[in-house]
Structure 1
């Protein structure tokens, strides 16, 4: 077994085994969401943060986004665009009760990971001779990631009383979770960038990102076709 296979095989097994958990919630969280009536800022902050930290599809996309960003300013710009996108659709989707098929949304989120890995590999320039605007792409995919969050919340038919306050708390929690996750990702990336292996394995890493995104896409489309 080659080194790349040893790295990639557990990664793909992880995605295949836990694909069902994308945007999922545990039993205790589900019970709380169904039983809650009124303002619950603390619990919704916690649920939002937990959802982002355990939402590996979001994290894989963010890893792709910041993989080749070496300046703090660039990281802040791209992460802010992603945050703006998913905040708009998270709040707007729930408050306006915009229903979107969760399998389709999660399939698009899978494709967003494929896109970023392909972009990092220079695929657009090599194969098509042009480079898409990466900032606009991150913002657009952020909108879809927000719909992924919104569709899961709509599954629980949240009470309208204090819904706006609870949604804001949930969204702030998502941002806190994203900040915590990004902090650890950046620390790991900065440590890795000090070694030659970062560039040696950058192609393999982004190839695995693309593969993981395709696995998620296929899993969700299978769910769409079998449950549609």
Structure 2
């Protein structure tokens, strides 16, 4: 091994150590801790909007009791949660109906014709599960004045002062005012009107997909690992296309309930995929030392060597897992419909738009460095690969151990 390669190796090892220390101090989950609320709206008769809400039981009990441990609702609710007894959990909510109703109706509101609809909590409260987590199912009827402009829905359910979650996504489905569809409400976009045009609904899910990739640092690091490990434009295009096809398949299948995988398996595997793809490049650099200077243009766009096709296969397998992660983050758990499929496809288009933008910006810069400043290009590529690899390994360990 030449002295230049040895110097680069020492530098990379130093950066790896620093990065590991920084990554340990970072959250285990790149998405943060969030809660998902499910809301289904339909017509309950003239002037009535029937709403079914599904909320995480333990978080709901803590929040409705205002995180006061001496509150009877808090004590009884957590005892029922620890016991895992659905009947006991329902009994606790029924015994504290005023607190339950007050918390929900103050944070989930429906307006019509500029006036607030009057909510009534239904007598029946049941329990269900989402991804193995107990959820309380609440029915509410909102009496609304006549309106020609649809209904406007507001949700500010969680997070509250107790600070257990960083954000809440309310998955809203509706069949109301001659419209049907779905959307997602969160802290930045807490309201929605059923009078939305198809173009507005398109933009809503496109924005959600784009924001998810932009804020999902683990997915961005995976893409950067693909970029830094690609010597030619066709390599990054083939790798990115493979990743897109793979995650699109599992994203659609998981979001429509055809396939399912526990987050305890999906999230660590996503982290491991980041480390593997980053380490792949470091291994090639260690073995050859000249991979960054090899920018020749072979004939045939799909012409790759055996190692190149093996890399494509690995990317495809990990792409399938990333698709499950995308679906889990969106949190839709609704029956199949063409409206749902359309929303999911638009969400995926938003993801792809950001992915293409990242490739268009990052890969040409890396090529320019490698061609005109080969030493700087090698350093930049190696440092980026080290950061990606170490971050992936740290996240993998944290997610396996359940460290937040």
Structure 1 unaligned blocks of 5 or more: none
How far off is 1:10 after superposition? Answer: 6.0
2:210 is the alignment partner of 1:34: no
Q: Give the 5 Å matches for 1:65-214.
A: 65-122=226-283, 131=307, 133-154=310-331, 156-158=332-334, 162-193=339-370, 194-195=372-373, 196-214=375-393
How far off is 1:159 after superposition? Answer: 6.8
How many residues are treated as equivalent by the alignment? 220
Give the stretch that moved more between structures: 20-29 or 134-143. Answer: 20-29
2:7 is matched with none
TM-score, normalised with respect to structure 1: 0.79
Distance 1:112 1:10, change over 3 A: closer
Q: Which has the higher strand share?
A: 2
**Distance between the aligned counterparts of 2:220 and 2:24, measured in 1?**
13
**Distance between the aligned counterparts of 1:24 and 1:185, measured in 2?**
30
How far off is 1:150 after superposition? Answer: 1.3
**Distance between the aligned counterparts of 1:26 and 1:49, measured in 2?**
20
SS of the counterpart of 2:171?
helix
How far off is 1:26 after superposition? Answer: 9.7
SS of the counterpart of 1:70?
coil
How far off is 1:182 after superposition? Answer: 2.2
Q: Which runs of 4+ in 1 moved over 3 A?
A: 2-12, 23-33, 123-126, 156-161, 200-205
Alignment root-mean-square deviation, CA = 3.4
Q: In 2, are the aligned partners of 1:57 and 1:110 still within 8 Å (CA)?
A: yes
Q: Which has the higher helix share?
A: 1
Distance 1:125 1:88, change over 3 A: farther
**Distance between the aligned counterparts of 1:21 and 1:113, measured in 2?**
12
TM-score, normalised with respect to structure 2: 0.47
Higher relative contact order (CA 8 A, sep 6+): 1
2:45 is matched with none
2:22 is matched with 13
Distance 1:42 1:62, change over 3 A: same
How far off is 1:36 after superposition? Answer: 4.4
Q: In 2, are the aligned partners of 1:8 and 1:208 still within 8 Å (CA)?
A: no
Q: In 1, are the aligned partners of 2:30 and 2:218 still within 8 Å (CA)?
A: no
Q: In 2, are the aligned partners of 1:85 and 1:140 still within 8 Å (CA)?
A: yes
2:300 is matched with none
Q: Compare CA radii of gyration and give the structure with the larger one.
A: 2
